[in-house]
Structure 1
Amino acid sequence: MSERSKSPLWILIHSAAVVAVFFSLFSGLRIGTLSSTAVASIDELLPQGEVHSVHFISAILLSLATLSYLTSRFQRFLNPKEQSKPRSFSYHRTVTWAGIFLTGIALISGWMLFSGTGSLTIIRLIHFYTAAGLCAYIFLHGGVYLVQFGCHALLLIMQPSRSTNRLLFILPVSLCLFLFGGWYLLNEYSHHALPVTKISSNTFIDIDGMASEPQWQKAQTLTLSTDGGANFYNGRSDVQLKALQNGQEIFFHITWQDPDESLAHLPLKKTAEGWEILQSGYETFDEKSHYEDKFAILLSENCSFAAAGTAHLGQSPLADKPANWHGKGYHYSTSEQLHDLWHWKAVRTNKMYLADDNFIGKPDKVRPGARRYTAGYQQDSKESGAYRMNWKWYSPTTITPKRLPAKIDQLAPYQYSLPHSQSPDWTISWFDYQPYSSSHDQFPLGTLMPSVLYTSNRFEGDRADVRARGIWRDGHWSLELVRKLDTGSSQDIPIVDGICMWVSAFDRAQIAHTRHSRAIQLSFDKTL
């Protein structure tokens, strides 16, 4: 580092880049804990809460600083007087250029992830390793300067020269280019547009998962890539969406890639010690092996990042509430705004021809005795109907079932290899089984039994507002859903033109779902 003073432009760009990289790295690493166990090991060093917006704003600041730097270099290239002579090898110059290269790759890959273009898995990997490279660059660049010059290095960096000519030229040009680019980006890539085709009110759409009606063939398809989920190939599943509305109801047909049909939801297995729950992460509410396939749809009047601002990452984003067991975070709203959440489950609700109608609101109160706190993620009210888990009290070792079949051969269809058993129905009827008794528990060791007990055919009330049916075939799920545009319930939001939504696919995973950055915005067709 030379002793001469720095131009105001250099100081401004350098300071902006330092701040942007700092916030971008820490917020990005927090986001990385959702899918990377290596990053999760430094969980306590990372910020918590709604970090997606911080990451996005820091990316904007870093982009502006980079654009200003490139504009400055271009101006110097056009001015022969300012072109420097070739210089010999220098450690700091080499490291600086390596940092500039890494910053460029980080920005390009980050904006590609935001726009959803390219192979998300590869781009996300490049983005992650570029961030790791920037961490190394900070020590190789700033750390060596501190060792070489001590605290005096900070004074040298912040000592401005008197010349402001370049500052007055570069900043307006860079700002204009950035504002134009930002305007274009927000207009073209702020959200995915899903056209909602209008159909006649007397058109019958059978919610059977087949989508065989001709109206579906005429509807426009939105295809988007989602990634970051467990068990999918490279964590990725491409999702295709279609939508229809008849003035009273809205219909969705959604297909997504899933290599296998997973229906064995937390099966029970008879062991020498008793019955146990087959699980590999259910104790911390992060099961990824013995679980059902699922699909979630979030709808909101808010189209901002991080699922309308409801995704708050970290083990304890709410200081006055219990920490979550899995360390990934909570969904909740920081305002009075309510967000609709439809949760289709291949075992627990598919047989009901329903999706579980839930919502995300303000953090719920802590309920004594409840094993799991879910913050703002809550279920709509219901009048009757439910499913129950077939154990009296949960234990990670052995449990006592609530009910057993009257005959041993009733469990014959379930004696297959796990976790991908494709038995047609991994639910059992409460009324077809009998209360547990040790005298009746004479089942052979290794016997498998479903854990989902149906006490009635389906929910009734607000929780049953979304009818749905899914069918798995040839590596894809095909799911149809329908709901009234306006249910009149305080726990649902009216679905109108411009409403935004997010989708997530689960492959035999409890919470490790795929995700996408930009919202899907519904665009209603006004003509019939």
Structure 2
Amino acid sequence: MPNRSKSPAWVLLHTALVIAVTCSLFSGLRIATLSKPAIASIEELLPQGEVHSVHFLSAVLLSLVALAYLCSRILRRYQAEQKFGRKPLNYHRVVTWGGISLIGVSLASGWLLFSGISKLPLTRTLHFYAALGLTAYIFLHAGVYLVQFGQNVLKYILKPAATKRAQLVLLCSFLTIFLMGGWLLLAKFTYYQLPVSTIAADTIIDIDGHANESQWADADALEVSTDGGANFYQGRTDVRLKALQNGEEIYFHISWQDPTESLAHLPLIKTDQGWKIQQQGFEKFDESRYYEDKFALLLSSHCDFAGAGTAHLGRSPLPGKPANWHGKGYHYSQSGQLHDLWHWKAVRTNKMYLADDNFIGAPDKVRAGIRRYTAGYQQDGKESGAYLMNWKWYSPDSITPKRLPRDTNALAPFQSFDQERALDWTISWFDYQPYSTESDQLATGTLMPSVLYTSNRFEGDRADVRAKGVWHDGFWSLELVRKLNTASPLDIPIEDGTCLWVSAFDRAQVAHTRHTRAIQLNLSKAL
């Protein structure tokens, strides 16, 4: 190894590169656990919490370093070739060029994913495997240097010439300024824009899921690519949004592709050992087979990454609170800011013509006897109305139903299980009778819905969002409406500049699609 020290520019860029690659790699692998459960086998090595901002900030730093390196490399290569000719290839030069190529692929695929320009699943695949390649590069590059030269290599790459250390401080200041400027541009000026068309106050918009009023045809549409969800083709679906407002209420029409209308929500089946829930992951609150389709909108007065900073990844991102069962993370607000969450459910709320009005706030306290801790994800209050699950106590092996049909013929339509059959998988509390072993004369293999309706719909804060979805020819069409300002402390006022994020669920409990950039509402457009 040469005795001469490296230049301040080289030391700064190399150190920044190490920091950027390390932060990008570990935060990216944590994000990847959402759709690649196999990575969770090394979850103890990965950071937890709000890692999206770390990932994007390190991407800005890596981009700046790559740009500076590219410029200096071109200049130095030209000067060196003029003076010495081309250097011969050796192990470290080959590995270095391999690392440069992997960083280039990571940056190109990452920015394509961030921008939403590329809708090809290959882009995310390239991004993931480039990250794995960088993991190997670290060992092949840094590991071999350490083996070859020992600890002295650290002095060589971290200690600039004493006479040039003032230059290092100056260069570090410039890099910090560019980094903060790049982060500001990324965080504040990369939102999708959704124009909200103004309609007359007396215009009637029927919330029926069909969106066949002329005002919808005239409204501007925004299409957002979402991915990372279970059961969708290659994990992705494009979401198309339109919005109207009349000064009092705001209307949304949202459509997305879903090959099947999934309505069989955790069916119960009679076995030789008793009743059992049909499930594939529900014991960990991560059902991905026997579940209804859903859609969620998160609305916030803040437009930060990770759903206004509410997505905290990992099994235990909250110290002192229970670990989550599925290892994906929690939603909660650290800033004290409340965020609105509208949760439409194809079985449990669609028949009510509602979306479940929820919110994300500060982490809730742990409550005795509650199996699932949900941190900041909570439901608005209600005055009446409910749906219940038709079992007394949950067990993955067997359950006891709360009620059985008075007329067993009522279960006949459900006996041929088919996710594509458009059946009403809800049952009325009043058409069923309390369970008893004497009345349970149903045959082994009998299927029964698990969602019990005790009334027609919610009343109160939880019913602030009216909604209706219709599935047809591989697409869901969903209409929603809510007052711009409900005056509820659990709802945010919707105004110009409000941001939202959308997620589609294909018969999945929590494995939804997602997108990075916030959608900002522009309420100034008139039809």
Post-superposition shift, 1:174?
A: 7.9
Partner of 2:431: 432
Partner of 1:456: 455
SS of structure 2 residue aligned to 1:41: helix
Alignment of 1:81-100 (within 5 A): 84-100=84-100
Partner of 2:508: 509
Q: Tell me how far apart the structure 1 counterparts of residues 245 and 79 of structure 2 sit (CA, whole Å).
A: 61
Structure 2: which amino acid aligns with 1:468? A
Q: Is the 8 A contact 2:60 2:179 kept in 1?
A: no
Distance 1:122 1:501, change over 3 A: same
- Cα deviation per residue 1:342-397 (whole Å; 9 max; x = unaligned)? 00000000000000000000000111000110000000000000000000111111
Q: Tell me how far apart the structure 2 counterparts of residues 30 and 163 of structure 1 sit (CA, whole Å).
A: 39
Q: Is the 8 A contact 2:297 2:342 kept in 1?
A: yes
Partner of 1:324: 324
Q: Tell me how far apart the structure 1 counterparts of residues 84 and 131 of structure 2 sit (CA, whole Å).
A: 31
Partner of 1:56: 56
Partner of 1:302: 302
Partner of 2:2: 2
Partner of 1:350: 350
Q: Is the 8 A contact 1:347 1:426 kept in 2?
A: yes
Structure 2: which amino acid aligns with 1:449? M
Partner of 2:102: 102
SS of structure 2 residue aligned to 1:393: coil
Post-superposition shift, 1:170?
A: 8.3
Post-superposition shift, 1:158?
A: 2.2
Structure 1: which amino acid aligns with 2:434? P
Partner of 2:421: 422
Gaps of 5+ in 2: none
Q: Tell me how far apart the structure 1 counterparts of residues 319 and 449 of structure 2 sit (CA, whole Å).
A: 38
- Cα deviation per residue 1:69-96 (whole Å; 9 max; x = unaligned)? 1121233356578765212221001101
Partner of 1:393: 393
Partner of 1:273: 273
Partner of 1:466: 465
Post-superposition shift, 1:312?
A: 0.3
Post-superposition shift, 1:151?
A: 0.7
Post-superposition shift, 1:408?
A: 1.6
Q: Is the 8 A contact 1:120 1:227 kept in 2?
A: no
Distance 1:309 1:174, change over 3 A: closer
SS of structure 2 residue aligned to 1:404: strand
Distance 1:319 1:163, change over 3 A: closer
Post-superposition shift, 1:311?
A: 0.3
SS of structure 2 residue aligned to 1:42: helix
Distance 1:396 1:71, change over 3 A: same
Q: Quick check: 277-286 or 112-121, which moved more?
A: 112-121
Residue identity (%): 66
Q: Is the 8 A contact 2:357 2:380 kept in 1?
A: yes
Q: Tell me how far apart the structure 2 counterparts of residues 164 and 367 of structure 1 sit (CA, whole Å).
A: 57
- Cα deviation per residue 1:438-457 (whole Å; 9 max; x = unaligned)? 11111111110000000000
- Cα deviation per residue 1:273-319 (whole Å; 9 max; x = unaligned)? 11100001000000000000000000001100000000000010111
Q: Tell me how far apart the structure 2 counterparts of residues 342 and 381 of structure 1 sit (CA, whole Å).
A: 14
- Cα deviation per residue 1:397-452 (whole Å; 9 max; x = unaligned)? 1111000001221101111234x152420000000111111111111111100000
Structure 2: which amino acid aligns with 1:369? G
Q: Tell me how far apart the structure 2 counterparts of residues 241 and 285 of structure 1 sit (CA, whole Å).
A: 29
Q: Tell me how far apart the structure 2 counterparts of residues 239 and 89 of structure 1 sit (CA, whole Å).
A: 49
Alignment of 1:138-149 (within 5 A): 138-149=138-149
In the superposition, the TM-score normalised over structure 1's length comes to 0.96
SS of structure 2 residue aligned to 1:12: helix
SS of structure 2 residue aligned to 1:111: helix
Alignment of 1:110-189 (within 5 A): 110-161=110-161, 162=163
Structure 1: which amino acid aligns with 2:515? H
Distance 1:501 1:175, change over 3 A: same
Partner of 1:213: 213
Structure 2: which amino acid aligns with 1:471? V
Asked whether 1:68 is paired with 2:63, we answer: no
Q: Tell me how far apart the structure 1 counterparts of residues 83 and 37 of structure 2 sit (CA, whole Å).
A: 47
SS of structure 1 residue aligned to 2:312: strand
Q: Quick check: 436-445 or 131-140, which moved more?
A: 436-445
Post-superposition shift, 1:38?
A: 2.1
Q: Tell me how far apart the structure 1 counterparts of residues 372 and 365 of structure 2 sit (CA, whole Å).
A: 12
Partner of 1:522: 521
Post-superposition shift, 1:214?
A: 0.1
Post-superposition shift, 1:335?
A: 1.5
Q: Tell me how far apart the structure 1 counterparts of residues 455 and 158 of structure 2 sit (CA, whole Å).
A: 71
Q: Is the 8 A contact 1:385 1:455 kept in 2?
A: yes
Structure 1: which amino acid aligns with 2:301? E
Post-superposition shift, 1:465?
A: 0.1
CA RMSD of aligned residues (A): 2.1
Q: Tell me how far apart the structure 2 counterparts of residues 327 and 246 of structure 1 sit (CA, whole Å).
A: 43
SS of structure 2 residue aligned to 1:374: coil
Partner of 2:376: 376
Structure 2: which amino acid aligns with 1:407? D
SS of structure 1 residue aligned to 2:10: helix
SS of structure 1 residue aligned to 2:210: coil
Partner of 2:242: 242
Q: Quick check: 215-224 or 80-89, which moved more?
A: 80-89
Q: Quick check: 169-178 or 192-201, which moved more?
A: 169-178
Distance 1:409 1:307, change over 3 A: same
Q: Is the 8 A contact 2:321 2:366 kept in 1?
A: yes
- Cα deviation per residue 1:130-170 (whole Å; 9 max; x = unaligned)? 00000000000000001111111111212323468997998
SS of structure 1 residue aligned to 2:21: helix
Partner of 2:224: 224
Partner of 2:408: 408
Q: Tell me how far apart the structure 2 counterparts of residues 18 and 339 of structure 1 sit (CA, whole Å).
A: 36
Q: Tell me how far apart the structure 2 counterparts of residues 281 and 81 of structure 1 sit (CA, whole Å).
A: 61
Distance 1:438 1:183, change over 3 A: closer
SS of structure 1 residue aligned to 2:102: helix
Q: Is the 8 A contact 1:292 1:346 kept in 2?
A: yes
Distance 1:396 1:164, change over 3 A: closer
Post-superposition shift, 1:4?
A: 2.8
Post-superposition shift, 1:2?
A: 3.3
Distance 1:177 1:363, change over 3 A: closer
Partner of 1:258: 258
Partner of 1:31: 31
- Cα deviation per residue 1:7-49 (whole Å; 9 max; x = unaligned)? 1111110000001111111111110110102211111111111
In the superposition, the TM-score normalised over structure 2's length comes to 0.96
Q: Is the 8 A contact 2:255 2:477 kept in 1?
A: yes
Asked whether 1:282 is paired with 2:282, we answer: yes
Distance 1:457 1:78, change over 3 A: same
Q: Is the 8 A contact 1:312 1:332 kept in 2?
A: yes
Partner of 1:447: 446
Partner of 2:334: 334
Q: Is the 8 A contact 2:261 2:422 kept in 1?
A: no
SS of structure 2 residue aligned to 1:22: helix
SS of structure 2 residue aligned to 1:112: helix
SS of structure 1 residue aligned to 2:242: strand
Q: Quick check: 383-392 or 422-431, which moved more?
A: 422-431
Q: Is the 8 A contact 2:12 2:168 kept in 1?
A: no
Alignment of 1:465-504 (within 5 A): 465-504=464-503
Structure 2: which amino acid aligns with 1:288? S
Residues paired across the two proteins, number: 526
Q: Tell me how far apart the structure 2 counterparts of residues 494 and 140 of structure 1 sit (CA, whole Å).
A: 54
